[in-house]
Chain A
């Protein structure tokens, strides 16, 4: 028994220390990435792109399900982004409210005979609309049968997309005006079309065949933040504030840690695990070849990125996924425990699903960084973490009950984890401040940073619980449908009510 205890305690200590070491590494990498981004970006004039006839085209795909309350304002916001060549594809995913009627009326839509090429399977598309008003010529509206997932609607949007790149977002997100300019840059910063010749001249065409040998950027992501408590005017954030209510406030802190510290750090070593469903720019050709979004998946954003990466590796193509640290998208975080628990349970289930579906890639050297770093990290430190944590809690309880606990050592170990997690979160907020000072006052920044002291007692146990519930639903195969997040919309010149 003593041997078992020693082994278990050592394992947990080594596991925890490795995880904390990984966080420290990510913090260093992300700081390097942010400083490099800032230095390079300070000389970039994005306006040069504004009227360029050689700018690559982008299709914005925004699925909408029962968004009647805010749809008009949100579409107007998407239609006024700063970019010379783009279209906005709104996918009405079988809404049961007046979303479609409002769109038809407001944007003078009419049904068109659209050559819709179903390269990725989705629920049937009923009609496609274009506006008869040339002011809205960028707008395409797809009306389709409800596919019970955002992924299914996004796939329909990809099929209708005219351009080589597509930006996936939620229709109720607020996107910064310069988002397309900033997010396309990483794609344009790589040496495209560098080729290598392979084999002898082809007997049929006489040419030596060539393949791409350059690094191809297949996706770009950016930081997302919560718009709860921000002031919004005509779809534009006019005053940034950390959320006032405690639940979205914890989420804001968590988002900063995940994006500014986590994904930015991974981006430096080209190991980005996923690009958020809220905002991601993708290479359409690769996304289609990888099969598009999995409409059955609960973590469709991570799934598509993983499949795009495996496609590139299987075809011996070099690829990169980039992240930019600036905040380009604002979303409304779940304001109530009910919605929040549903979201996190779904995320937990999605993670379990990803680990299961892509199990052959994990620890497979053929898949290089994806197989040896990205997915193993997700397995060991994302998927297993809640399980090990809850095991540790039970172990503590057992020790307390049996009176075998060494309080002195136990408290030191708890303090170690506690202060370390506070440090990591505080560093994430500092990195965010280095990137851009969104909050107007120092009190707002410090107020947000102080949440890190409460997180281990209040927020973190909830995250662990919902993740475990998600795993349980995955194992039991319990049905779970995505749907309207019951968003409340963004107010006009007043804090978005949370």
Chain B
């Protein structure tokens, strides 16, 4: 079809728009095809380059570091002269290759412990790869900073508090999470100092990551978490500290947790009750019972669970009452579970309930008694 500019000008607006969009659509479609092909080609090239470089790095590391008998001595790692000349290959002048070397070193370091791990760190320093990481740290891009923090913390390189502490409170979630992880790993004296400065919330995902790092980092100084439970205005920090108190069975923090029972925030109160139950604090049972009636449902359920965990046997009558008279299904279920957890003191009550309870309550009891059912 012959179509010229004159026809275009003479067409109606609808047709003019349609023609413009046909050109745009065809152009974008062609561009999309080209992008798909070039993207795949670049990925293929990258993989090919790495596939040829990785065996080279692996061989060098194996031969000159990991299987080098001369390095397996009692001399402190930092005093050992490594054969770094063999690593000075032309390919490592390229940034991508140096990055591949850093990534490989981190992989190896995560899989070896002790002196060999220290030699890998030494190699990282002597090849001046730390300078690459520090350069990224100065970048204005958050993702570069996150990458640098991960590299430096994996290589156990110290970072000045003045550099890292502000990042623990960054408005960028990923950056502040990476900074917090690095701070915990790298700070020698006060790994939890950032708890005092953070105003941004500790998201649940961050908590899982931090929990993992705290519980797996060697030689970490565990403080008394009561200080943050008492004074922190950041509720997510308080909630996280309660979990750490349970993990480290930190009985010294109990008074601070008990004080938290008076907080207005019933989510935090439920966390505190949960913590006391898991610590099996028999001394707080009376207080929990006293406050039970005035609590919202989530706190009531936590109190019932706590009575089961503590299992003092002193409050089975209360549990029986709740089981028989509560209207809420979950309350009855948790009361039943706690009665069963107190069974050493509630044998008679359990027998009586099995005999006299309604069909539904009997089912709840049997559910709670069945070892195959956990929840």
Point out residues on A near B: beta carbons under 8 Å. 9-10, 13, 17, 20, 39-40, 42-43, 45, 48-49, 51-56, 110, 112-117, 130-132, 137, 162-163, 185, 187-195, 197, 204-208, 210, 408-409, 411-413, 415-416, 419-420, 422-423, 426-427, 429-430, 433-434, 437, 442, 445-446, 449
> How many whole Å from A120's CB to the nearest CB in chain B?
13
Q: Interface stretch among B65-73, B206-214, B310-318?
A: B206-214
Could you give, for residues 364-375 of chain B, a 1 whenever the CB lies within 8 Å of some chain A CB and a 0 otherwise?
101110101111
B294 within 8 A of A: yes
Determine whether the beta carbon of A208 is less than 8 Å from that of B264. yes
B143 within 8 A of A: yes
B173 within 8 A of A: yes
- State in angstroms the CA–CA spacing of A350 and B205 once bound together: 36
B19 within 8 A of A: yes
B363 within 8 A of A: yes
Which residues of chain B from 278 to 311 have any CB-CB distance to chain A below 8 Å in the complex? Answer: 294-295
Q: Given the complex, which residues of B lie within 8 Å of A10, measured CB to CB?
A: 14
Determine whether the beta carbon of A419 is less than 8 Å from that of B40. no
Determine whether the beta carbon of B212 is less than 8 Å from that of A206. no
Q: List 27 A-B contacts (CB under 8 A).
A: A43-B143, A45-B209, A48-B208, A48-B213, A52-B211, A114-B367, A115-B364, A131-B372, A137-B374, A188-B203, A188-B204, A192-B203, A208-B264, A210-B265, A408-B1, A416-B18, A419-B22, A422-B29, A423-B28, A426-B28, A427-B28, A427-B32, A430-B39, A433-B36, A434-B39, A442-B36, A446-B33
B235 within 8 A of A: yes
Q: Given the complex, which residues of B lie within 8 Å of A429, measured CB to CB?
A: 32, 36
Q: Given the complex, which residues of A lie within 8 Å of B14, measured CB to CB?
A: 9-10, 13, 409, 413
Which residues of chain B from 89 to 113 have any CB-CB distance to chain A below 8 Å in the complex? Answer: none
Knowing A112-B372, A205-B295, A416-B22 touch, does A409 contact B266 (C-beta < 8 A)? no
The listed residue (B178, B236, B333, B372) touching A132 by CB distance below 8 A is: B372
Q: Given the complex, which residues of A lie within 8 Å of B268, measured CB to CB?
A: 193
- State in angstroms the CA–CA spacing of A205 and B299 once bound together: 13
Q: Given the complex, which residues of B lie within 8 Å of A163, measured CB to CB?
A: 375
- State in angstroms the CA–CA spacing of A53 and B244 once bound together: 11
Determine whether the beta carbon of B178 is less than 8 Å from that of A43. yes
> How many whole Å from A197's CB to the nearest CB in chain B?
7
List the count of A-B residue pairs having beta carbons below 8 Å apart: 172
The listed residue (A205, A408, A413, A449) touching B294 by CB distance below 8 A is: A205
A-B pairs, 5 with minimum CB distance: A162-B375, A113-B366, A115-B367, A188-B204, A416-B18
Q: Given the complex, which residues of B lie within 8 Å of A408, measured CB to CB?
A: 1
Determine whether the beta carbon of A137 is less than 8 Å from that of B372. yes
Give the most central of A51, A55, A411, A416: most B CB within 10 Å. A416
Determine whether the beta carbon of B36 is less than 8 Å from that of A445. yes
- State in angstroms the CA–CA spacing of A429 and B32 once bound together: 9
Which residues of chain B from 12 to 29 have any CB-CB distance to chain A below 8 Å in the complex? Answer: 12, 14-15, 17-19, 21-22, 24-26, 28-29
- State in angstroms the CA–CA spacing of A40 and B205 once bound together: 13
Beyond the given A112-B372, A185-B205, please list 17 additional residue pairs across the A-B interface where CB-CB is below 8 A.
A42-B143, A43-B147, A49-B212, A52-B208, A114-B373, A115-B360, A115-B368, A137-B372, A189-B203, A190-B203, A194-B201, A207-B294, A419-B25, A433-B39, A437-B40, A445-B40, A449-B32
Which residues of chain B from 184 to 211 have any CB-CB distance to chain A below 8 Å in the complex? Answer: 201, 203-205, 207-209, 211
Determine whether the beta carbon of A52 is less than 8 Å from that of B40. no
B174 within 8 A of A: yes
B43 within 8 A of A: yes
Determine whether the beta carbon of A40 is less than 8 Å from that of B32. no
Q: Given the complex, which residues of A lie within 8 Å of B330, measured CB to CB?
A: 117
Could you give, for residues 323-336 of chain B, a 1 whenever the CB lies within 8 Å of some chain A CB and a 0 otherwise?
00000011001000
Determine whether the beta carbon of B17 is less than 8 Å from that of A54. no
B243 within 8 A of A: yes
Q: Given the complex, which residues of A lie within 8 Å of B211, measured CB to CB?
A: 52-54
Q: Given the complex, which residues of B lie within 8 Å of A132, measured CB to CB?
A: 372
Give the most central of B25, B209, B295: most A CB within 10 Å. B25
Determine whether the beta carbon of A423 is less than 8 Å from that of B39. no
Residue of B nearest to A45 (CB): B209
Knowing A188-B208, A197-B264, A205-B295 touch, does A112 contact B373 (C-beta < 8 A)? yes
Q: Given the complex, which residues of A lie within 8 Å of B173, measured CB to CB?
A: 40, 189
- State in angstroms the CA–CA spacing of A422 and B295 once bound together: 60
B115 within 8 A of A: no
- State in angstroms the CA–CA spacing of A415 and B19 once bound together: 9
B146 within 8 A of A: yes
Q: Given the complex, which residues of A lie within 8 Å of B150, measured CB to CB?
A: 43
Q: Given the complex, which residues of A lie within 8 Å of B36, measured CB to CB?
A: 429-430, 433, 442, 445-446, 449
Q: Given the complex, which residues of B lie within 8 Å of A415, measured CB to CB?
A: 18, 22
Q: Given the complex, which residues of A lie within 8 Å of B329, measured CB to CB?
A: 115, 117
Determine whether the beta carbon of B25 is less than 8 Å from that of A195. no
Q: Given the complex, which residues of B lie within 8 Å of A194, measured CB to CB?
A: 201, 235
Q: Given the complex, which residues of A lie within 8 Å of B372, measured CB to CB?
A: 110, 112, 130-132, 137
> How many whole Å from A405's CB to the nearest CB in chain B?
14
Q: Given the complex, which residues of A lie within 8 Å of B265, measured CB to CB?
A: 193, 195, 210
Q: Given the complex, which residues of A lie within 8 Å of B264, measured CB to CB?
A: 197, 207-208, 210
> How many whole Å from A189's CB to the nearest CB in chain B?
5
- State in angstroms the CA–CA spacing of A196 and B36 once bound together: 49
Determine whether the beta carbon of B28 is less than 8 Å from that of A442. no
> How many whole Å from B31's CB to the nearest CB in chain A?
9
> How many whole Å from B278's CB to the nearest CB in chain A?
11
B222 within 8 A of A: no
Could you give, for residues 130-154 of chain B, a 1 whenever the CB lies within 8 Å of some chain A CB and a 0 otherwise?
0000000000000100110010000
Determine whether the beta carbon of A204 is less than 8 Å from that of B22. no
Knowing A131-B372, A419-B26, A442-B40 touch, does A191 contact B18 (C-beta < 8 A)? no
B247 within 8 A of A: yes
Determine whether the beta carbon of B209 is less than 8 Å from that of A43. no
Q: Given the complex, which residues of B lie within 8 Å of A195, measured CB to CB?
A: 265, 267
Knowing A43-B146, A191-B201, A426-B32 touch, does A409 contact B17 (C-beta < 8 A)? no
B233 within 8 A of A: no
Q: Given the complex, which residues of B lie within 8 Å of A188, measured CB to CB?
A: 203-205, 208
Q: Given the complex, which residues of B lie within 8 Å of A53, measured CB to CB?
A: 211, 247
- State in angstroms the CA–CA spacing of A429 and B239 once bound together: 44
Q: Given the complex, which residues of B lie within 8 Å of A137, measured CB to CB?
A: 372, 374
Q: Given the complex, which residues of B lie within 8 Å of A437, measured CB to CB?
A: 40, 43
Residue of A nearest to B172 (CB): A40
- State in angstroms the CA–CA spacing of A53 and B248 once bound together: 13
Which residues of chain B from 253 to 291 have any CB-CB distance to chain A below 8 Å in the complex? Answer: 264-268
Determine whether the beta carbon of A56 is less than 8 Å from that of B366. no
Could you give, for residues 21-63 of chain B, a 1 whenever the CB lies within 8 Å of some chain A CB and a 0 otherwise?
1101110110011011101100100000000000000000000
The listed residue (A39, A48, A117, A162) touching B209 by CB distance below 8 A is: A48
Knowing A162-B374, A194-B201, A446-B33 touch, does A52 contact B366 (C-beta < 8 A)? no
Q: Given the complex, which residues of A lie within 8 Å of B366, measured CB to CB?
A: 113, 115
Q: Given the complex, which residues of A lie within 8 Å of B11, measured CB to CB?
A: 409
The listed residue (B22, B26, B203, B294) touching A191 by CB distance below 8 A is: B203
Q: Given the complex, which residues of A lie within 8 Å of B201, measured CB to CB?
A: 191, 194
Residue of A nearest to B207 (CB): A54
> How many whole Å from A412's CB to the nearest CB in chain B?
5
